Structure 1
Amino acid sequence: MIKRLIIAIVLLTLVIGGIVGFNQFRAKMIAQYLDSMKNVTVPVTVTEAQSGTWTPGIDAIGTANARQGADLSTEASGVVREILFQSNDTVTSSQLLVQIDDRQERADLEAAKASLNLAQITLNRARNLQERGVTATSTLDSAQAEEVSAQAQVAKLEAVLQTKQLLAPFDGTIGIPRIEVGQFVAAGTVFATLQDRSQMRVDFALTEQQAAQVRQGYSVTAIDEEGGTSFEGEITGIDPKIDANSRLVTVRALLDEASGEALTPGQFLRVRVNLPAVENVISLPQTVVTTSLYGDSVFVVREETPEGADAPQTIAREVFVRIGRRHGNSVEILEGLKAGDRVVDAGQNRLSSGAVVRIVTDPAETGDAPPVIGN
């Protein structure tokens, strides 16, 4: 019994001693590894934070429209007698485009003119008789009323004839005819579209908050998706009413003359409203900012002398920042940095705060290249 107890005590002592020895060995190896890591340097490239002019803007989606554009429609019903244009013709203001059959109206006009002529003769005769005191005043009044009525009838029929002639309201390019000769058309039938493409405009929508920042006369930049061509313009109108359904405000801008040949009405455009420039703003490329659950941060390179070191070392420190507006590939830094700070812009994915870094000029050196181990 005593022998078994002694054997158990010996085995327990060996197990405890092994565990203690393993832990001491592990601690020693970890310490050696950490000591060696102090000499590891990570290659990074840096950019200097500078205070400069910041041009904020508002991005939106817009639609290109002609400076003037309309779907032309018939004002009166009837049979189409002539179509005096072809697809894509350039027409001028007041040019005759379509003629509706007007033979009945012309006949009525001739009859009205004859009645007017008779009324004028009767009025002149009544005036002569009145001057000689032969006729009564009521006869002259009746003749005058007949003459005025006849003039009104002539004017009415002339106006009806004008509705049978469809004229171009402005200069522009006319589209494909949507009616045919001999076709009966009702009032309001669209027969073609007319677009003045000498200069284009863009309509886009902004939120209530964005619309409060823009003013008439602000410059805009519009970019088409197909060719990537940009056009400059100026805001010419802001709708004073907010759409109750979308909560958006419609804004219109007139683009430069080069847009007339390059854009098509209805085309999709990306629009940027250029807001007034702001001085003394620190901005950085968006790629240098790391976003996490704790906030936005960047790595700043500083010269420090760690405790126990003989000489200064280049250390990367994580600094939390507050970002503001974005423009292109740049982001505005509101808090956390000052002008002159050196910010890591390549190689930050392999950094931790306090890491020793080596500044290089070629971003390729910060990629898959292993860290350089110091002596």
Structure 2
Amino acid sequence: MPGWIHRHGRWLALAAVAAAGASWLHSRADVGKKDKPDVVAAAEPVAAAAKAALSVQTVKPQSGQWPMVISANGAIAAWQEAVIGAELAGLRLSEIQVNVGDKVSRGQVLATLQQDSVQADLNNARAALQEADALMTEARANADRARSLHGSGALSTQDTQRALTAEQTAKARLDSAKSQVASQELRMRQTRIVASDEGVISSRLATAGAVVQPGQELFRLIRQSRLEWRAEVPSADLLRVKPGMVAWATPPGGTPVQGKVRMVAPTVDAATRNGLVYVDLPASALGAGARAGMFASGRLEIGQSQGLTLPQTAVLLRDGFSYVFKVSDKGVVTQLKVSVGRRVGDRVEILQGLDANANVVASGVGFLTDGDSVRIVKGSQS
């Protein structure tokens, strides 16, 4: 009997636990049903809330005269480079007075040669001149006396002729001596190597103590410090380039330098089909960073044309194409694909795809997509 009571009590306890669990699950199900409408009711206002509009400023395209340019690249070179050398042979350089980069004036001494031998030759020539002058004085006196006694019978005809001939011979010797002095004085001046023009020394091969030869290059001089830009232009554009047009060359790491077209080459390179346009650069180009031998980029201004422009901030570059966002009266933006052209300062030329009276978003276009609603604020750009 006690064993039966014990087993019966355990079954009663298990039944009570099962009943309690069923009651708890039923109560949780009721709670879930009661809470579900509340969640839906809370989500409905969020879904119904209006999407916030982006505040933007608008701008209209502007029409104006824009320069027509041809982009070009080319080398910067010396306008004219003079080679300065020695005119005498067998003399040593005694002194070098300039170096590469020095500015010189016409006639300035660049170097000097040893003058000892030339000075000795000049002294000999001057002594020979004095001797010839003395002989000329004597011969002239004898000739004058012979002419005064002619016809008196005091001198024979032969003696008279001899005196006149001696005068002419002395005169010729005097002239020769004068020429020798002039020649030696010229050689003395040639011992001073001078600049043939004003400009900048671009190369120096002269070394003190070296023996020079006639025509040997000692210095190179950029005449008048002038450089030129040899712009390479496609042959199709050469006919539009005329002498006198304004051009701009930008040396690497320097500032743009304004020049003027001097001439257009009469030939075209057979390999590249490009022609050279020679642009004179001012002397100030050296201060702007231009150097002979540099490769510079630039442009040639060939005229002006009418153009429709927008600020560059209004144009979006996406997937290799340019877009603007036109704003309707209801504040909805429409994405328009446009073709762009020249760029000057902070403005870009619009070639196709946009009406001249359209209102477009002025900036912040990277945050917009087609069909977005925007709110136009005051202070619209123009």
- TM-score, normalised relative to structure 2: 0.60
Could you tell me which of 238, 252, 271 is aligned with 1:225? 252
Matches within 5 A, 1:1-375: 47-63=59-75, 70=82, 72-85=84-97, 87=99, 91-131=104-144, 132-133=146-147, 134-135=160-161, 139-171=166-198, 178-194=205-221, 201-207=227-233, 208-226=235-253, 228-231=254-257, 233-235=258-260, 237-239=262-264, 241-242=266-267, 244=269, 247-255=274-282, 257=284, 259-263=285-289, 265-266=291-292, 267-278=294-305, 280-284=306-310, 285=312, 287-288=315-316, 298=323, 301=326, 303=328, 314=332, 316=334, 318=336, 325=342, 327=344, 331-343=348-360, 355-359=370-374
Q: Residue by residue, what CA displacement relative to the aligned partner does 1:329-365 show, whole Å, maximum 9, x if unpaired?
A: 75544455442224567658986xxx52334689xxx
> Which consecutive residues of structure 2, in runs of 5 or more, have no partner in the other structure?
1-49, 148-159, 378-382
Q: Which moved more, 1:260-269 or 1:39-48?
A: 39-48
> Post-superposition shift, 1:54?
1.0
2:247·2:279 contact (CA, 8 Å) conserved in 1?
Answer: no
- Contact 1:129–1:135, Cα closer than 8 Å, also in 2: no
Q: Whose strand fraction is larger, Structure 1's or Structure 2's?
A: 1
* In 2: Cα distance, 1:335 partner to 1:61 partner: 28
Structure-2 separation of matches of 1:135 and 1:209: 83
Structure 1's 153 and 41: CA in aligned 2 closer, same or farther, altered over 3 A?
Answer: farther
What letter matches 1:253 in structure 2?
D
More displaced 10-residue stretch of structure 1: 156-165 or 210-219: 210-219
Distance apart, 1:124 and its partner CA: 4.4
Give 3-state SS (helix, strand or coil) of 2:298's partner. Answer: strand
Give SS of 2:207's match. Answer: coil
Task: State the shift of 1:183 in Å.
Answer: 1.9
Deviating more after overlay: 114-123 vs 326-335: 326-335
What letter corresponds to residue 71 of structure 2 in structure 1? Answer: D
CA–CA separation in structure 1 for the residues paired with 2:142 and 2:265: 65
What count of residue pairs does the alignment treat as equivalent? Answer: 305
Output one character per residue of 1:85-111: Cα deviation in whole Å (capped at 9) or x when no partner.
Answer: 254666544233322234333333333
Q: Percent identity between the aligned chains?
A: 22
Q: Distance in 2 between matches of 1:168 and 1:230?
A: 31
Q: Tell me how far apart the structure 1 counterparts of residues 307 and 203 of structure 2 sit (CA, whole Å).
A: 54
5+ residue gaps, structure 1? 1-38, 305-311, 363-375
Rounded to whole Å, the distance in 2 between the matches of 1:176 and 1:248 is 29
Residues 89 and 275 of structure 1, relative CA distance in 2, 3 Å threshold = closer
| RMSD (Å), alpha carbons | 4.5
Distance 1:330 1:210 in 2: 25
Q: Which has the higher helix share?
A: 2
- Structure 1 281/109 Cα, relative in aligned 2: closer, same or farther at 3 Å? same
Structure 2 counterpart of 1:106, which letter?
A: Q
